[in-house]
Structures are given as C-alpha cells and as structure tokens.
Amino acid sequence: MPKREFFKHVRFGTTALGLVLASQGIALAQEAPADDTTVNDESEFLGTVTLGESKREVQTDTPVAITVIGKEEIDDRQANTIAELIDSVPGVTLVNGSTPSGSGINIRGFGANGTFGTDQKVAVVVDGANTGAEEIYRIGTQLFTDPFLYRSVTVQRGTIGSYEYGTGIVGGVVLLETVDASDLTEGVPGFKAGLTGGLGSNKDQINGSATLAWQANDQLELLANLSYREQSNQDDGNGDEIGNSAFELPSYLLKGRYSFGQDNAHSIMASYTQTETSERDVPYDSFFTTTDAFGNVDRDIMSQTASLFYTYAPASSDLIDLEIGLTYANQEIDSSYVPGSSSLESNAFFGPVVIALGNADHQYETTRFTIKNGSYVETGPFAHDLRYGVEWQERERVDEEAAPGGTDTRYAIFVVDDIALTDSLYFTPALRYESSEIEGSIPDPDAPPQSPFAPPMPVPEIVRTADTDALVGGASLRYEFDNGFTVFGSYAYTESLPIIDDLESLEFFDQPELSETYEAGFSYDKLGVFGDDALALKVNYYDTNLDDVTSYSDAEEIDISGLEIESSYARFSGFYIDLNANFVTGEESQVSVIDVNGTPTRVLDTTIDWDRTPQDTIRATFGQRFGEFADVSAEVLTAFERDIDLGGGTTTEADSFTIVNLRATLTPQEGALAGTEFRIGLENALDEDYTPFLATRPAVGQNFKLTVSRLF
C-alpha cells in the first residue's frame, strides 16, 4: 500500500481518538493506586480492576497447556474468523485464516493442512457440539462461524486434557461458548440491546451485529443475535489481489436458560447457531487462489449447531454435579460445476470425473448424547475431584464422488480424577474407552478395471464395515511451592480410530493411529515481584510420537517436539506486557509400499523433516491502560526462517517475517458517548508482504479497522 494510504489511515484513527477525547473533556493521564495500596495484599490488587491487568490471563494452576480468550479480547482483536482470533495462542498456526472457507486451524503441527480440511487430530466443540468436517479432499473445513457469537474461546493443546471430548486428539481441542443474555444484563432483570458495526480498509470489509437480551428474573434469560460480515477479494502486502478471499457471511444465534428448584439447582440451556455463505465461480480447491485442473464451482455452505443441556448441582451434595446434553451439528456443502472452467472437461476419461467432483454435494450430521457427573470425595488423607461420564455419538455423511458416505457410531465412557495428595501435590489420572462401528458403501475393489479409452461407467458397490475400539489414558502430576513456583509433568496416550474416509482403503480401514505425548514444565505466579506489579509465566515442553500413520501419504511415524511459553506482566499503573513463544521441531519416517507374497506391505524407508512443522514464533504485546477509559497496545509477531529437508536432496524453506499490529480500545465514561466502545486497529501496519508457512495464500496486507459498539 502506498505511504499516503498509510498516513491517511493514521490521520483517520487520530481524528477518531481526538473526537472521543474531546467528548470526555479530559486528557489521558495515568491512574495510580491509592497511597495506602499494599503490594502484598491481593485483595487490594484485585480492586484496581483494569489498572493491573494484561490482555490475557496465563493459566498457571493446571498442568494442561490451556489458553482462554475472553470476551474483552474477542472484541479487541476485531477478528474476521475464529481462526484469526486464536492465532495468537502459542502452538496454534493458521492455514490461511482470513476467510471462513479454504482455511483451518493447526495445533502443534496437526489439524488442518493445505491438502485436507482436517486430519481429525484437532477437535472443535461449540456449546458442547462436535463440529467440523472430516478430510473431504481439497474442500473440507474445520470451523465455519462468526466471532460475534461467542463469549469465550478455550484452546487446550495436546492430549492430556482431551479425554472428555474424544479419542485421537493429538493437536488439541478448541472449545467455543456462545454469548449468554446475562452477559449483557449483568444479572439485572430487564431488556438490553447491543449494537456493533465495523469497517475494514482491505477490501470493502463491513461487519455488524445486533443482540437482544431479556432477563425476566434470576430464573429465565433469553438472547437473540444476528451478525453479518462481508468483504471483497483482499490485497496482500505487495498490493496484489488475493484470489478466492471474498465472502459474505450472515450468522444467527438463539439461546435461552431456565433455572428452577431449590436454590435454582436445576437448569435447562438451549442454543442454536447458524452460519452460511454463497460463493460463485470460485476454485473447486478452496485452499488456493486460482483455478486449477479441477475447475470452478458455485458453492453454498451452511453450518448449524443445536445444543440442549440439563444440569443439576444441589448445594447440599458434594456427590452430584450432573450434566445431560444432547447436541446436533450439521454442515452442508452444495456445489455446482461451472461449465468450461477446467482444461480437462473435454477429455473423454477425466472430463466426467472432474464434472462429477464439482457437482458433488456434501453433508455431515453429528448427533451426540452425553451424561456427565462431578463428585467430590475424600478417601483418608486424599481428596478426589472426579469427573466421569458416558457418551453416544453418531456421524452420518452422504455418499458422493471421491467422498464415500456412511455412518460412524461411537460409544464411550471416561473418568478423570483430580487427586489432592497433599496441600501442594496433585495427581490426575484419566481414562477413556471408546468403540466405533463404521458402515458405508464403497466401489467394489473386485470389479473389472475400466478402459481409459471408454467413458466411465457406474462402478458396482459393496457395503463395508469397520469395528474398532480403544482404551486410552494418561496422567499428570503437579507440585506447588510456597513462593509462586509450580512444576508439572504428564504422559498421555491416545488412538485415532478409522474414519469414514478410510472405508475405501484396503490397508487402513481398520488400523488406528497410535500417539504418545510427554510434557513437562513450570509456572510462576506472583504479586509484587518488582514493586506494584504482577507476573505470570508458564513454560511447557512437549514431545509427541504418532505411529502407524494413515492420515498422511508415505508417512509411517511422526515425531514432533516443542517449547511453548506464555507470560504476562502488569504494573498497577496500567502498563502491561504479554509475551508468548513457540519453538518446534519435527521429523517423519517415510515408508515404501512393496509387494510381499501378493500383499501390499509398508516398509520403513528414510527419515526426513516433517513438512507440516510450524514455524518458530515470538509474539509480544506492549500496552497501557488509562483507567477504564482507554487500552492502547502494539503487538509484534516474528516468525523465524526454517529450512526443511524433504529427502533426496530436495528442500523447502519457510521465510521469516515480522508484522506489527496496533490497537486502541476507547470507552468514554461520561457524556453522550458514555457506554460506547470504539475499537481502532491497524493490522500489518508495515504492510509486510509474506506467506506464513503451511498457508496456501499470501497474508493480508495493511488493514485499518474501526468498530463501534453500544449497549442500550
């Protein structure tokens, strides 16, 4: 972008800042705690509210590598997608990310990649509903929704915290919780309405959200939300158009909660979300920017989730904290081939195949029923905080060209026991047993081969089933010292059971993938480290081995290890620094398939670098809060160069880059604008031209964003 455009955005932002300041009739001034503030008095520190807080709390009280992004940060980041919202979490890498389709989430090297929509090793859960597609070659997507709908996003990295959500989770879990009416009403009966509108300079970005909340009393609350987001094809840092990056995204949320009984111990919650988009004359391969041999399609995508939960938590019992949930997730991808868009269309053999692929309609329906309970039990000197439950899940997928349909039915039982061995030592074992039965129709492998010189004919089909099960589990150990230090370690084992996509594979349809992960680290959480301040730090090392690999071509075994760092430092004066870093290495053992007495057999061949290993990154945010009125910050992300050995003298390179994001949140406390929030952001402020490793598109260039919100 030309320099004049940059300064135009800066002048616009400065003018907006000046208008808000003028409406307040005040100057920015640091607020300090009262003279009688005691550094070591934690209650005094909590009383300063915004003055001693950083952007994000570091979760130092658990051995699980977990990051929670609250509503304030969700709003401040002004993200276009959920993927963009969590890319600041160490270990999380985006495959593209600025669009809802053709992008995905990768955690610790697993999840979405540029070939498949996902590899099933990252779970995405919306209000308790398992969402996302399976592999769906070239057009799959993990997550399709709008950030406006959510009050919090939790990212659990690794396997150790995943046993409540499924087997085969190697990368991690993304948990999304939708907005509650009480978030707007703050527990006070009555109506509240929230309006938000936003603009982005790159390119023609507009977004808006309208929320109506009603709290009748302390028992009943209802909420409705309508959100809309749109943009044209964006420009990269070089000013070139990023093809296939335009979208139009309406979203809806309905949610209600009713509590009853003594002390409102009973509760029923129901929620429904829907997000959809229409794409016209876009590449069939949604990960890329231009048309290839597969041609173009007109594509309509719809994602729906519905959740119904009953909870019972009587204050009089330590043994009952019951949750019964029924959830449903539906994703439909309807597409129509655009005639004349593929160079293979006139080919007698490949033409009909390409047209059939382009006209294939896909649908995933996932129904899940769970019963969970929590109990607090003391056995002699030990205290147990137990979580246990049973689960039934069924996924149905329609049968389409190059995407076999079928049904995957699973039953599971799990238990997690958080044991306090002493006041400082905690031991947490976890177990999950899961069985899976997959059934679907596939082309008959014994049917005679078709002639390449004749038009394709329908292939006879047979029904194939795959019955597998797995017992998985792990344990963590955590010790808290009196000086703020905590050390922890864990071991986790899981198995990725076959999926519907595996039915067509004679070799893999009943073969699970096996994963082991070791983790170790420490945390530090202290008030008054250098005076009137607070410091939180968490360092976590992990080593993951994935064996009997079926998700990636030619790989038999994958080893990936890394170091994740999260820290926050805040002065009572309002100054803060957030720092996170991710350093990772990975390698794969490749295999060759040879014929052994007429049976295809995989044989270990060579060891090379794992080509889906994310880049090493460091991200730092420097900010200053001015009371409750303003929060101004600068975020700097550096990704380091990486050379990847692909074997046979072939290498690929991940280029280094540094980007700067500037943000300001202004909340007037007086006058006509009191209660209005202004968010100003300048993303990729230096207009860096770069393509993150694992992405298939260039990153978005400089983008000025302005969002205004008001609660009535």
CA pair distance 568, 447, nearest whole angstrom: 62
Burial class (CB in 10 A: 0-12, 13-18, 19+), 600: exposed
The residue type of 400 is E
Q: Which tokens go with 381?
A: 């000197």
585 neighbors 559 (Cβ within 8 angstroms): no
Q: Which of 292-296, 484-488, 692-696 has the highest mean pLDDT?
A: 484-488
Residue 225 or 46, more confident: 225
Q: What three-state secondary structure class fits 83?
A: helix
* 453 band by pLDDT with thresholds 50, 70 and 90: low
**What structural domains and CATH numbers belong to the chain?**
3-711 (2.40.170.20)
Q: State pTM to two decimals.
A: 0.89
- Which helix (DSSP H) or strand (DSSP E) does residue 75 occupy? helix 71-77
Per-residue pLDDT, averaged over 408-436, amounts to 97
- Residue whose C-alpha is closest to residue 570's, from 8, 206, 53, 149: 53
Q: Which tokens go with 3?
A: 């320099």
Angle at 615 between CA 202 and CA 617, to 5 degrees: 75
* 21 band by pLDDT with thresholds 50, 70 and 90: very low
> Mind giving me the DSSP string for 188-238?
-SEEEEEEEEEEETTTTEEEEEEEEEEE-SSSEEEEEEEEEEEE---B-TT
What pLDDT score was predicted for residue 114? 67
CA pair distance 203, 97, nearest whole angstrom: 16
Q: Which tokens go with 183?
A: 């978030």
CA pair distance 588, 609, nearest whole angstrom: 6
Distance between terminal CA atoms of the chain? 38
> Mind giving me the DSSP string for 427-444?
EEEEEEEEEEEEEEEEE-
CA pair distance 187, 216, nearest whole angstrom: 10
> Mind giving me the DSSP string for 653-703?
EE--EEEEEEEEEE---SSTTTTEEEEEEEETTT------TT-SSPPP--E
- Residue whose C-alpha is closest to residue 612's, from 589, 587, 582, 649: 587
Q: What three-state secondary structure class fits 524?
A: strand
pLDDT at 18 over 50: no
CA pair distance 84, 247, nearest whole angstrom: 15
- Residue whose C-alpha is closest to residue 128's, from 397, 389, 362, 498: 389
Q: Which tokens go with 77?
A: 């980041």
Q: Which tokens go with 42?
A: 């934690």
What pLDDT score was predicted for residue 499? 86
CB neighbours of 247 closer than 8 A, spacing ≥ 6? 99, 100, 101, 229, 230, 231, 277, 279
Per-residue pLDDT, averaged over 635-643, amounts to 95
Tokens 């616009």 correspond to: 12
CA pair distance 143, 101, nearest whole angstrom: 8
401 neighbors 162 (Cβ within 8 angstroms): no
> Using one digit for the tens of pLDDT, what is the confidence trace for 362-372?
888 999 999 99
CB neighbours of 203 closer than 8 A, spacing ≥ 6? 231, 232, 233, 234, 235
Q: Which tokens go with 257?
A: 């909660």
pLDDT at 297 over 80: yes
> Using one digit for the tens of pLDDT, what is the confidence trace for 552-585?
877 889 999 999 999 999 999 999 999 999 999 9
Q: Give long-range contacts, CB 8 A cutoff, 24+ apart: 92-96.
A: 92/155, 92/157, 93/614, 93/615, 93/692, 93/693, 93/694, 94/692, 94/694, 94/695, 95/287, 95/694, 95/695, 95/696, 96/287, 96/695, 96/696, 96/697
**Bridge partner residues of 398 (DSSP):** none
* 28 band by pLDDT with thresholds 50, 70 and 90: very low
For residue 149, give the DSSP letter: G
Task: Give me the count of residues in the chain.
Answer: 712
pLDDT at 408 over 70: yes
| Residues above pLDDT 90, as percent of the chain | 64
How distant, in Å, are the alpha carbons of 347, 349, 450, 651 from that of 455? 10, 6, 9, 40
For residue 400, give the DSSP letter: B
Residue 114 or 358, more confident: 358
Residue 603 or 21, more confident: 603
Per-residue pLDDT, averaged over 454-463, amounts to 70
- Residue whose C-alpha is closest to residue 174's, from 304, 268, 87: 87
pLDDT at 484 over 60: yes
* 46 band by pLDDT with thresholds 50, 70 and 90: very low
Query: Quick count: other Cβ atoms within 10 Å of Cβ 493?
Result: 15
Query: Quick count: other Cβ atoms within 10 Å of Cβ 320?
Result: 13
Q: Look at 406-410, 437-441, 560-564 and tell me which has the smallest mean pLDDT.
A: 437-441
227 neighbors 209 (Cβ within 8 angstroms): yes
- Residue whose C-alpha is closest to residue 65's, from 394, 420, 543: 543
> Using one digit for the tens of pLDDT, what is the confidence trace for 485-496?
999 999 999 999
> Using one digit for the tens of pLDDT, what is the confidence trace for 114-157?
666 678 899 999 999 998 767 765 565 667 789 999 999 999 99
Residue 503 or 311, more confident: 311
pLDDT at 13 over 50: no
What pLDDT score was predicted for residue 446? 74
